[in-house]
Amino acid sequence: MGKPKKEVDTRFSKFGTVSFTAITKVNDFVDFLEKGKVMGTECKDCGLKFFPPRADCHRCLTSNMAWFEVSGTGKLMSYSKLGFAPIGFGDDLPYAIALLDSEDYKVFGRIAGDVPEEDIRIGMAMKTRANTLPGGQLNYVFEKA
């Protein structure tokens, strides 16, 4: 999967408001985000799709993975507007977290800040796009399809 990794790979420090992990086998995820692509992984053996991306398939117990782009639309299954946030995320408030069902996989993330709350409906079609936060950190958000 991708280019050879340095021993200490800190690319994930560019993801999200607060870095939650420094070393991971799926750091190419962040490189893709910088190019505007939100990517998951797919097991080449059984076709199972993973988002967030995983380097190993729990069904096959292999690491025979390929990247795929999270594209098309997903159905909004659930969302919650946050008035309080975990430590480190306070400056981003208010924001809504949500779960999209893309049939083969589910995507957990934030609804884009410019989607009016009154427009949000369970079951509505949304798409996932890469996003740059104030300060240059990267994440992805959901917007109306």
Give the footprint of Zn ion on this chain (CB under 5 A): 43, 45-46, 48, 57, 59-60
CB of 63 to Zn ion, least distance (A): 10
- Nearest-angstrom CA–CA distance, 44 and 20: 28
CB of 65 to Zn ion, least distance (A): 9
Question: What does the DSSP 8-state code read for residue 41?
Answer: E
- Alpha-carbon torsion (101, 103, 106, 109), positive or negative: negative
**How many residues does the structure list for the chain?**
145
Question: How far is it between the farthest Cα atoms of the chain?
Answer: 47
Decide whether 66 or 125 has the Cβ nearer to Zn ion.
Answer: 66
Decide whether 48 or 130 has the Cβ nearer to Zn ion.
Answer: 48
CB of 24 to Zn ion, least distance (A): 19
Decide whether 9 or 56 has the Cβ nearer to Zn ion.
Answer: 56
